[in-house]
Amino acid sequence: MLDLTPRQLLPDGEDLTGDGAVVKLITVPGSAGGSPTTGPPPPGSVVKVRFVGRAVDTLDCTSGVVFDSSAQRMEGDVPFRAHLGKGTFVAGVELALAGMARGETALLACAAEYAYGAKGALPEVAPHVTVAYEVTLCTFRPPLVAPGTSLTSESRMAGAARLKAVGPTASSMWLLPLVTTAPHSARGFRESVATLSRPAS
C-alpha cells in the first residue's frame, strides 16, 4: 500500500487542520445560508449521513478497498444516524461534518492521526495510513439545548423554537425511530405514525 498524504490525494481541497492532516474537497455544495436548518450542524446534533470509507493505494480517492459504509451498516441506501461529537466517526469525519451544509457531499482524506492511527483497522486499513471518505450530510437535527446546558424553562423554549424552525415534517421524521419496536399490530403502528405526523393544533 502506498504511503499517501491527504494533500497528495486531494491537492485542490481545503485543509481543515492547518497541517494538512485532514483535507476536504466539496463535490456537491449543500444548502446556503448558515441558518439553524441549513448548517453547519451545531455540536450535539443528530446527523443523518451517507458515507463510504476506503483504504486507498492510488491517487484516486474514489477507488480502493471499502472498509466501512453507511450502506453496510444500514443494509441499503438508508442514511446512518449518529450524534455529532460522540466519537461515532473517526476524528477527521467528525471535523468535516461539523462544517458541512445540509445536502453537501465531500471527499475527505484523513491522515492516520485523524483516522485509525498506529493500530489501523485490519485487515483493510493498515497502521499509520491515510484513508479516504466520501460523505454526504443528508440532514441534521440540532440539539434541543446546547451540550452542557441545564434544562431551564428558557432553554426548553429555545429548543422548541429551533425544532419549529426546521418544520413539522422534518421534526416528526426524527420522532419516528422512537416508536417502539416491540410487537404491535400493524394498525397500532399506523395510528402512532399518523399521530406523530399530525400538525399540532
Domain boundaries, the chain: 6-141, 153-197
pLDDT tens readout for residues 44-103 = 899 999 999 999 888 888 888 999 999 988 877 789 999 998 889 999 999 999 999 999
Instruction: Please say if the pLDDT value at position 169 is more than 60.
Output: no
Taking a C-beta distance cutoff of 8 angstroms, is the pair 52, 133 a contact? yes
6-141 has CATH 3.40.50.150 classification: no
User: Which pLDDT score, from 0 to 100, does residue 57 have?
Assistant: 81
User: Which pLDDT score, from 0 to 100, does residue 195 have?
Assistant: 44
Query: Cell 400493524 identifies what position?
Result: 186
Taking a C-beta distance cutoff of 8 angstroms, is the pair 160, 145 a contact? no
Taking a C-beta distance cutoff of 8 angstroms, is the pair 191, 198 a contact? no
pLDDT tens readout for residues 1-24 = 567 899 999 999 999 999 999 999
Mean pLDDT of all residues in 112-128:
92
Reported as a pLDDT band with limits 50, 70 and 90, residue 43 is confident
More confident residue, 171 or 3: 3
User: Which pLDDT score, from 0 to 100, does residue 20 have?
Assistant: 96
pLDDT tens readout for residues 72-89 = 888 777 899 999 988 899
Predicted TM-score of the model (pTM) = 0.72
pLDDT tens readout for residues 135-153 = 999 999 888 766 665 667 7
More confident residue, 154 or 14: 14
